[in-house]
Every structure is written in structure tokens, then in C-alpha cells.
Amino acid sequence: MTSRFPIERIEARILDIPTIRPHKLSFGSISRQSPVIVQLWLANGACGFGEAATIGGPSWNEESPESIQHAINAYLAPALLGQDGACFEAALSRMDSACKGNAFAKSAVEMALIDAVARSLSLPAWQLLGGKRHQSLPLAWTLASGDVARDLEEAQLRLEQKRHRIFKMKIGARSPEQDVAHVSQIARGLAGRATLTVDINQAWDGNTARRYLPQLIDAGVTLIEQPVAKWNLEALKTLSATLGDRASIMADETVCTPQDAMLLARAQACHVFSLKVAKHGGLLRTRQVAAVADAADIGWYGGTMLETSIGSAASAHVFATLGTQHHGCELFGPQLLVDDIVTERMEIRDFELQLPDGPGFGVEVDMAQLNRFDRARTGLTSV
């Protein structure tokens, strides 16, 4: 069989884009994002873009911008050159043979591949991923300045602008008592006007979570993301069983592969999966994890690694194809960055992200902006 879309060239570069304010999480504070942007050219001249963003170098999980760029240049690109770009699953399997793990790196390459092929066919990427089921999704914003007054100001503005009415608070860096006080103050300030969620990013042990999560729920929190370490399935299970009638427990760092999803589903250890294209290793594998959620009566949430508009639009395309049991999405990454690398961002209207149409991921990359933030030009080093 002749190859319809031979892969000709793949390049990966690291950008450094400052954030509009420090973003504080349980494991540190970031003031810039360093996404890896992949360009993939097919022999027909079409070029697709992909992205993998990490948070705080390798502090969210094992991969860093530098390791992602290296895996792509040294192993993943050589495994794909000359192969048929239209055979997505075969490309994934070649990448798996060349390189164990490295899900973020693989996801950026697969993204660029799907964008390039979709553009060659003049189709939106969602058409190649099963078809669109949602036109828009409720869009959360994360309050993570670390300061109650500033968080409340941010939330008020976003409510007035009709952009966000789901607010996620990043906690776990301070003492649980301080976190409960912080969340309670914000909950009082926004009473009745917003849905409140928290992300603890693995910071608590099981006993701390059992003691303090009920207090957060009393304050008004309805969705609790990754309260305990990623390995702590037993604690997740107990929390889900005991708190489940008052709030939902969402797995994030614990659910990466379809096998992780199966373990969580079998143990009935959470109510929702946070889906993220990078940690699942691509758009197709995000659908596999979502399929486990669907089969196990587990909800899904459209998560982010704070990508630019490239990775966010790609995520929007796959989220657009998923089932109805969802808790909205948090593809607000572009708004957290001082500037973007596309000519026009996805639209936010009436508290919902309008899910884009094609061709490809439906966003046009501004090459001047890409060059402006390119680490090879700015000379910045790793975080």
C-alpha cells in the first residue's frame, strides 16, 4: 500500500512565556510556562502543530520541557520519518517501540500529526476523532494568586465578564487550617454565584484529607481534585465512599494510562477523571481513558497543563467528541499567559468555551510570536 501522507520533517522547540501573575500550586509557584511546540511537515507540504506543556519543569510529573524536546528529536522523530502520517495508531506504536513512557512528548507529536493530516483533508480534527458532540463547554478559572483579596477580585471580574463561574482553588502549600480559612473566605465572597472546586495536587496524606475535606465541603466546595498522592488508591477509595453523597472526588495525577483508569474504576476510587491529552499520551489515548470512564459510570473533566492556544485547541477538539457526563473544562491556559502564539484565540461566551472547528485544530499560528518566545532566541534556561 502506498503511503498517502508521508511524514517528511519534525521539529520541536521550547518557548518561554511569562504568566500574568504568579500561579501558586501545592508544589511551587510558577511565573512562566515553557511549552514544547512541535511542527510536523508532510510530503504534501502541510504543516501541523502540536504542544506539550509541563508545570514547573518536571515538578508536576517526570517529564520536563527539556526531556520532551530531547525525546522528540532523538527518538520519536527518527521513528516516524517516511512513515504514513494517516496511520495514527501505527505511529503511536512505532513511538512506543522507540521510547518507553514519555507520554507528554508522544502527545505533542501525535497532535501535530493529526493537525497536519486534518489540514491536508480540509477537515476539523474532531472529524477524525469521532465527530463533534458538544459545541461548547463550561469553562473554569483557577484562583491561585495565594491572596484572598486578589483571588476575589479576579473572580468578580470574570463573573462580570461572563467568562467563568466555576473557580478552582489550588491549595496544599500551606497548613490545612490556613487552606480551609482561605477557601471559606472566598466561598463567602462568592456565595451563590459560583461553583467552587479545589485541587490539592497530592499534598495531603489520607488522614489529613479525611479530617479537612469535610470542612472544605461545609464551606461550599463540590469537586475535590487529587487530594492525596497519586499512588494512594486506598485513601481515594475511602474518601469517595464516605464523602460521595456531598462532593465528587476527581483523580488527576493518578489517572494517566487506560490501565490506571481501569484500576480506579475497579476500586470505585473516584467519581470523575480529569482528562489531559499530555499525560494520556495523545488525543486518541485520551479517548481510551474517556471510554473507561464512560463504561464505569465515572464523569470526565476537561483538564489542562496550562497550554497555549495550540494545545488548548487540540484538547478542545477531543473533548468536543466525548460523552455527556462531564463537569466542564479548564482550558484557560491562554488567558494565564501574557501573550499567545495564535492569531485568534478560541471564543469564550456566556461562561462557556466555544469549541473550535477546523481545518486541523482551527487556530492559526503566528510565526512571529513563535519566534519571539523561542528559547533558542531568548537564551533563557530551564526553570
Which residues in this chain contact ligand MUC in the complex, by CB under 6 A? 55, 142, 144, 170, 199, 201, 252, 303-304, 306, 330
Q: Which does 315 bind (CB under 5 to 8 A by kind): Mg ion, ligand MUC, none?
A: none
Active-site hit among 110, 154, 225, 330: 330
* Complex with Mg ion: residue 16 or 225, whichever CB lies closer: 225
Cβ 2 to ligand MUC shortest distance, Å: 43
Q: Are 87 and 79 in contact (CB under 8 A)?
A: no
End-to-end CA distance of the chain: 46
* Complex with ligand MUC: residue 124 or 281, whichever CB lies closer: 281
> Catalytic annotation on 237?
no
Cβ 376 to ligand MUC shortest distance, Å: 27
> Catalytic annotation on 170?
yes
Cβ 225 to ligand MUC shortest distance, Å: 6
Q: Which does 304 bind (CB under 5 to 8 A by kind): Mg ion, ligand MUC, none?
A: ligand MUC
Give residue number: closest CB to Mg ion: 252
Q: Which does 307 bind (CB under 5 to 8 A by kind): ligand MUC, Mg ion, none?
A: none
* Complex with ligand MUC: residue 128 or 336, whichever CB lies closer: 336
Cβ 225 to Mg ion shortest distance, Å: 5
* Complex with Mg ion: residue 119 or 170, whichever CB lies closer: 170
Cβ 197 to ligand MUC shortest distance, Å: 10
Residues that bind Mg ion (CB under 5 A): 199, 225, 252
* Complex with ligand MUC: residue 95 or 209, whichever CB lies closer: 209
Cβ 26 to ligand MUC shortest distance, Å: 9
Q: Which does 352 bind (CB under 5 to 8 A by kind): ligand MUC, Mg ion, none?
A: none
Active-site hit among 170, 253, 276, 307: 170
* Complex with ligand MUC: residue 12 or 53, whichever CB lies closer: 53
Which residues form the catalytic set?
170, 330
